[in-house]
């Protein structure tokens, strides 16, 4: 933070105040970030640059932050680039006059398309000097690429990429040495990496948020001729983090912050219907006694853990004039006398998947409930037996454009939390209060809407009995939650210690299943020759932004499932592993094919062990020799997790935590059994 004193500036020379921010200035920041691994240094580079943007062209703060976090828009807007490696290679070739074969060869050797672009660009002679790129211009170019759909979309997307690359100034000296300084501040490199979905700077989104808060605090103080104190910086960070967790939309927050100042941000940016929150998550436990230890001397409550799909339902009733002023424009489905939307665990709009829920919504909302955000689980429902059905049934439902008359698997909504009610965010209230409001504001209707079954008993016996009952009722186990006091507030986007899960299946194992990313596959043998027979899986390290291999898996797949997976995965084959895959390089450990990091699978395991062959958690210090990673023993495929993106997979830290918690750590387990095929 010392570097934020008023006399220290970002090294990029000032542009004319009010002019669009040059993209080269952002690339210089990226390049400085790329050369260090120290988080404080990384944040200082970003904060200095953001402050310069605020000082000279505050209108560009939003596009600058979006490009820093590798996003085009908030997640709920559903805007995706929809391009793979091959389109990018074609565009690089076309812009630089090099053949696709040469680009592919370079990619084989260099392994980083960003650097391939730098290399291609620096050998190219340009006839005229292109107009320099600006940050807002690059964002617009990327949004244009994302918006291309329909016939010939691929070709037009390539044209969009070419337009950006043609104007990208690979290196002002024209002699970038890609073996030095990680390619330097090349524009082409960062455009290509943005297109690939990974800037690979070690710049986590949470660091950008902290840098942004620091920049705004420093800028506001400078305007008043003051030097901000450490407490001012800390206060600004707390405000911005809290606001972002309740309203994860830079599009709303940044203009409000520029206009009203960071101190007044909470007043202007509150949780609101239409902007889905990242949900609160739970920590796994492997014994009821662990739960009792955690909540000692505190009031807690147990709820059934339903096995369905998380659904966040947003609703606003129309006022007398037919307006829905409280809601963001994307709460768009007309329901009774209001509008509603349903969002998934990762903020995707599920309204077209669950028109049946929306159609019934007016029947379970009480008349004086005018607006709300509900946290619930949508669960498959057996209409004849009047009970919950297993998750597998829910999976058979169509994912998009469902017509109510075609619905075969009915769902019931089980509500377990209320986050916003009648124009007011209530996440700061205790769970006991929120639950009371929940029960007051809605009326259960059998098979349509219910409150999660709960029990407030604090004794081991009571919990054990409740757990058994939950399993009989086709649930996965229990969620145990802090009930009273500040700690029982709803913590958006956190995997909190105030919510614990007890899964019946895992009481004796490691406490939870894992959600892992598929990085590669091995061709099948025997009966399975036309499909992939086994797969290489990885967890995600958010600090280094890498995928760390954790096991090979070949068990738990039916023939039909293998065929379906082959169909999906063969679409995303890449020539070589991405540079952000941490894997063993030994020849016999290489899968036959590599994939883009896209699909997340839920996997069960007997336990965890250390193995020199895998890389998971190596940076978490689990192996004193530093040579072994954590791996899964006897992994078994459970299901595809459509509701998780690759970077929402189980994290390396979680895997390391599970490993440490495993009772048998330290005892000999014999050789690792991780070649399960
Ligand atoms: P998993 O769903 O595999 O347990 P996860 O990472 O998706 O893992 P967790 O925090 O581990 O999420 O578990 C909480 C999930 O359980 C929620 O996302 C929600 O979908 C579901 N759930 C079912 N019943 C409840 C409940 N009563 N309270 C909270 N969450 C519940």
Per-residue pLDDT tens digits for 533-544: 999 999 999 888
**Predicted confidence (pLDDT) at residue 69 exceeds the cutoff of 70:** yes
Q: Which of 348, 479, 482, 496 to mutate to test the pocket of ligand 1 (most atoms within 8 A of CB)?
A: 479
pTM (predicted TM-score): 0.84
CB 655 within 8 A of CB 608: yes
Residue 575 confidence class, pLDDT cut points 50, 70, 90? confident
**Predicted confidence (pLDDT) at residue 659 exceeds the cutoff of 50:** yes
User: Which sequence positions are flagged as catalytic?
Assistant: 305
Which pLDDT score, from 0 to 100, does residue 617 have? 93
Q: Among the residues of 148-229, which ranges form H helices? A: 153-167, 187-196, 205-223
The region that residue 294 occupies, defined by phi over 0 for left and psi between -120 and 50 for alpha, beta otherwise, is: alpha
What does the alpha-carbon distance between residue 312 and residue 347 come to, in Å, rounded to a whole number?
A: 9
**Predicted confidence (pLDDT) at residue 668 exceeds the cutoff of 50:** no
Quote ipTM for the complex. 0.95
**Predicted confidence (pLDDT) at residue 666 exceeds the cutoff of 50:** no
Which pLDDT score, from 0 to 100, does residue 126 have? 59
Look-up: residue for tokens 């030994």? Answer: 586
Query: Who wins on pLDDT, 469 or 327?
Result: 469
User: What's the start-to-end Cα distance of the chain, in Å?
Assistant: 52
Provide the 10 A C-beta neighbour count for residue 377: 22
**Predicted confidence (pLDDT) at residue 180 exceeds the cutoff of 80:** no
| 282 CA → ligand 1 middle, Å | 7
Q: Which of 278, 280, 281, 647 to mutate to test the pocket of ligand 1 (most atoms within 8 A of CB)?
A: 281
**Predicted confidence (pLDDT) at residue 509 exceeds the cutoff of 50:** yes
What does the alpha-carbon distance between residue 598 and residue 561 come to, in Å, rounded to a whole number?
A: 17
Which pLDDT score, from 0 to 100, does residue 36 have? 85
| 232 CA → ligand 1 middle, Å | 37
**Predicted confidence (pLDDT) at residue 7 exceeds the cutoff of 80:** no
| 277 CA → ligand 1 middle, Å | 15
Which pLDDT score, from 0 to 100, does residue 660 have? 87
Which pLDDT score, from 0 to 100, does residue 670 have? 42
> Which of 75-79, 109-113, 263-267, 672-676 has the lowest average pLDDT?
672-676
Residues with CB under 6 A from ligand 1: 279, 281-282, 303, 305-306, 310, 345, 377, 416, 452, 479, 501, 513
Read off the pLDDT of each residue in 367-390 and give the average, rounded to a whole number. 95
What does the alpha-carbon distance between residue 364 and residue 378 come to, in Å, rounded to a whole number?
A: 15
User: Per residue in 219-243, pLDDT tens?
Assistant: 999 999 888 999 999 999 999 999 9
């Amino acid at each position: 933070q010392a570097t934020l004193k008023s006399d220290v500036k970002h090294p990029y020379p000032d542009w004319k105040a009010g002019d669009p921010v040059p993209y080269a200035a952002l690339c210089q920041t990226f390049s400085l970030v790329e050369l260090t691994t120290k988080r404080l240094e990384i944040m200082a580079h970003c904060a200095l640059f953001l402050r310069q943007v605020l000082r000279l062209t505050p209108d560009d703060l939003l596009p600058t932050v979006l490009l820093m976090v590798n996003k085009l828009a908030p997640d709920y807007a559903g805007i995706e680039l929809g391009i793979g490696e091959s389109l990018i290679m074609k565009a690089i070739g076309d812009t630089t006059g090099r053949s696709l074969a040469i680009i592919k060869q370079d990619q084989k050797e260099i392994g980083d398309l960003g650097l391939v672009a730098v290399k291609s660009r620096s050998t190219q002679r340009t006839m005229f000097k292109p107009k320099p790129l600006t940050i807002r211009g690059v964002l617009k170019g990327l949004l244009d690429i994302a918006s291309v759909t329909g016939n010939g979309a691929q070709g037009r997307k390539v044209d969009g990429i070419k337009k950006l690359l043609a104007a990208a100034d690979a290196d002002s000296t024209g002699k970038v040495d890609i073996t030095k300084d990680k390619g330097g501040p090349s524009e082409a490199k960062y455009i290509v990496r943005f297109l690939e979905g990974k800037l690979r700077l070690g710049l986590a989104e949470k660091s950008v948020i902290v840098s942004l808060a620091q920049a705004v605090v420093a800028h506001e103080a400078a305007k008043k001729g003051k030097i901000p104190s450490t407490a001012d910086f800390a206060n600004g960070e707390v405000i911005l983090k809290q606001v972002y967790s309740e309203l994860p939309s830079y599009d709303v927050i940044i203009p409000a912050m520029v206009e009203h100042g960071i101190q007044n941000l909470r007043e202007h940016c509150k949780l609101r219907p239409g902007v889905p929150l990242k949900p609160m998550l739970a920590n796994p436990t492997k014994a009821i006694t662990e739960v009792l230890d955690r909540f000692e001397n505190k009031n807690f409550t147990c709820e059934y853990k339903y096995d369905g799909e998380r659904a966040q339902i947003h609703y606003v009733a129309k006022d007398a004039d037919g307006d829905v002023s409280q809601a963001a424009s994307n709460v768009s489905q007309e329901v009774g006398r209001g509008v509603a939307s349903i969002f998934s665990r990762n903020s995707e709009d599920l309204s077209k998947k669950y028109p049946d829920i929306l159609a019934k919504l007016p029947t379970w909302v009480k008349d004086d409930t005018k607006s709300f955000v509900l946290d619930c689980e949508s669960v498959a429902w057996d209409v004849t037996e009047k009970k919950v059905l297993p998750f597998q049934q829910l999976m058979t439902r169509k994912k998009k454009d469902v017509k109510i008359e075609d619905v075969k698997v009915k769902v019931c909504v089980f509500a377990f939390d209320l986050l916003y009610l009648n124009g007011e965010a209530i996440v700061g209230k205790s769970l006991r209060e929120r639950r009371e409001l929940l029960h007051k504001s809605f009326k259960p209707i059998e098979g349509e809407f219910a409150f999660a079954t709960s029990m407030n008993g604090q004794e081991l016996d009571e919990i054990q009995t409740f757990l058994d009952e939950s399993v009989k009722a086709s649930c996965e186990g229990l969620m145990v939650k802090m009930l009273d006091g500040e700690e029982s507030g709803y913590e958006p986007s956190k995997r909190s210690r105030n919510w614990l899960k007890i899964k019946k299946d895992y009481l004796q194992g490691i406490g939870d299943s894992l959600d892992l990313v598929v990085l590669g596959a091995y061709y099948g043998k025997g009966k399975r020759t036309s499909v992939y027979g086994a797969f290489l899986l990885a967890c995600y390290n958010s600090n280094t932004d890498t995928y760390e291999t954790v096991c090979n898996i070949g068990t738990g797949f039916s023939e039909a499932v293998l065929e379906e997976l082959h169909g999906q995965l063969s679409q995303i084959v890449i020539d070589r592993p991405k540079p952000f895959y941490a894997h063993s390089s030994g020849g016999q450990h290489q899968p036959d094919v590599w994939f883009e990091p896209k699909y997340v699978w839920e996997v069960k395991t007997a336990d965890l062990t250390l193995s020199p062959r895998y890389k998971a958690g190596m940076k978490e210090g689990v192996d004193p020799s530093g040579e072994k990673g954590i791996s899964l023993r006897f992994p078994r495929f459970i299901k595809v997790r459509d509701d998780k993106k690759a970077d929402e997979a189980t994290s390396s830290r979680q895997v390391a935590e599970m490993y440490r918690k495993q009772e048998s750590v330290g005892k000999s387990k014999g050789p690792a059994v991780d070649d399960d095929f």
